[in-house]
Amino acid sequence: MTTPAPAATAAVAAKRGLGAAFIFKKALISALVALVLFSLMIGVRTEAGPEGQLIYWTRFGDLGAMVATVFFGSIAIELLRQWWGPIETVRVIPPRVTSSLALARRAIAPILLIFTFLVPVIFYDQRYILDLGILVLTYVMLGWGLNVVVGLAGLLDLGYVAFYAVGAYSYALLATNFDLSFWVCLPLAGILAAFWGVLLGFPVLRLRGDYLAIVTLAFGEIIRLVIINWQSLTGGPNGISGIPRPSLFGIPLSNTDDGLAALLGIEYSPTHRIVFLFYLILALALLTNWVTIRLRRLPIGRAWEALREDEVACRALGINTTTTKLTAFATGAMFGGFAGAFFATRQGFISPESFTFQESALVLAIVVLGGMGSQLGVALAALAMIGGFELFRGLDQYRMLVFGVAMVLLMIWRPRGLIGHRAPTVFLEHSQTISSDLVKEGR
């Protein structure tokens, strides 16, 4: 190797110097913008005083800290960006690493499944971990349910929590008013939620993309507002309490003579019910997964994917987009209803507070993070998301802030999701002679 010519070295040095000036200038501008943005919102704090009159006090220390954070953060980001190179930079990964990565990818699903089955055995004494596991699995199930609508059919649904609420309230009302058992109510809750899914599906058939998102959001809010205001039926903001616990096909999991523990001749422990709930939601989630995987191989699943890729082409090929969309909505809603019924029986108490827009956004974020369409990705994303929420439990009010920031960064950095991808199940081996990109008009 020859040493670089002096001129080239000077040019590199000059470029570096210029780079430093550029970074400094950019950081300074960011800090100035931050100063103006935060000046009143952080620099001044208002609160209602003792006589109800608003008072304010200044917090210039916090303001200075925030501006300094933005300044140094901007420098750090710019340095990272220069170190990484342009976004499109492809890092060459050695083949050995690639092959072991592929192996790991294939092995991860079975390992995860076996581990999940063993969780109640390993952590039998740790109630906290079991409860957390149930929560994660609930969101895995919700994520897989929404994945049918968003990931497979490509219909952005911001009101998924409505079906969750319908399922929960269906079970709660049927069980408390008619004494129906959980196993009778579970399918009923699913059917009712699916019915609401079709009901929502009909009006939005003609809408696409953003409009669809807003209408589903409005629908979710309508359901929530009706639940809050229809006090005679739903108990309004107070919710419904005393929802019966599930039984193992008629055998109650209680400390009585006809309870499961007495029948098996073992000592009763409240953990039995937790373990039972854990396996119940695991079974429900796996059912969701199995149905989705099977459906993907049926014509209807293929039609969903085709609809996601190109609706116009779909119609041109004679696919009935109406039934395709409605079945996607109904299927997704049904699983949401199942999950809702499970939620109601686990909590024993439900109120409209559990079914806010935040919940919809959380499930949607799980699906997006998981890569929209990848089953394993959604499961891992649910684990990461709910686990992350638990980590931030101490910083309760910062939780949603971090969640929002993560969502924005994720869209910028990896819009197709961290894990997995959403390639169609079937595709042509060879690319077409004329790509559709080339014949698109009006772009």
Partner 1 sequence: MDYFAQQLINGLVLGSIYGLIAIGYTMVYGIVGMINFAHGDIFMIGGFIALISFLILVSFGLTFVPVILLIVLLVSMAITALYGWTVERIAYRPLRHSFRLAPMLSAIGMSFVLMNYSQIAQGARVKPVPPIITGGYTLYEADGFVVRLSNVQIVVVVTTIVLLAIFTWLVAKTRLGRDMRACEQDQTMAALLGVDVDRTISMTFVIGAALAAVAGMMYLLYYGLVDFFMGFVAGIKAFTAAVLGGIGSLPGAMLGGLLIGLIETMWSAYFSVEYKDVAAFSILIIVLIFLPTGLLGRPEVEKV
* Residue ranges binding partner 1 (CB under 8 A): 33, 36-37, 39-42, 44-48, 52-54, 56, 156, 158, 203-204, 206-207, 209-211, 213-215, 217-219, 221-222, 225-226, 228-229, 312, 357-358, 361, 364-365, 368, 397-398, 400-401, 403-408, 410-412, 415-416, 440-443
CB closer to partner 1 out of 108 and 215:
215
Q: Which residues pair with 56 in a beta bridge?
A: 46
Query: Closest separation between CB of residue 285 and partner 1, Å?
Result: 24
Residue (of 281, 408, 422, 406) closest to 341 by Cα position? 281
H or E segment at 350? strand 349-350
By C-beta, is 56 or 117 nearer to partner 1?
56
Q: How far is the CB of 137 from partner 1 (least distance, A)?
A: 24
Minimum Å gap between C-beta 168 and partner 1 is 20
- Closest approach of Cβ 421 to partner 1, in Å? 12
Query: Which one, 177 or 238, has the nearer CB to partner 1?
Result: 238
Nearest approach in angstroms of CB 313 to partner 1 is 8
Helix-, strand-, coil-residue percentages of the chain, each rounded to 5: 70, 5, 25
List phi, psi (to 5°) of 395.
-100, 65
Number of H helices, E strands in the chain: 16, 4
Q: Classify residue 426 by its DSSP letter.
A: S
Nearer to partner 1, 189 or 368 (CB): 368
Q: What are the residues facing 350 on neighbouring strands?
A: 240
Q: For partner 1, which is the closer residue by CB, 228 or 379?
A: 228
> HSE (CB half, 13 Å, CA atoms) of 23?
18
Of 147 and 289, nearer to partner 1 (C-beta) is 147
Minimum Å distance from CB 215 to partner 1? 6
Q: Is 312 helix (H, G, I), strand (E, B) or coil?
A: helix
b or e along 254-272 (b: 16 or more beta carbons within 10 Å of the residue's beta carbon)?
beeeebbbeeeeeebeeeb
Nearer to partner 1, 155 or 189 (CB): 155
| Closest distance of CB 132 from partner 1, Å | 23
Fill in the amino acid letter for 171.
Y
67: three-class secondary structure by DSSP: helix
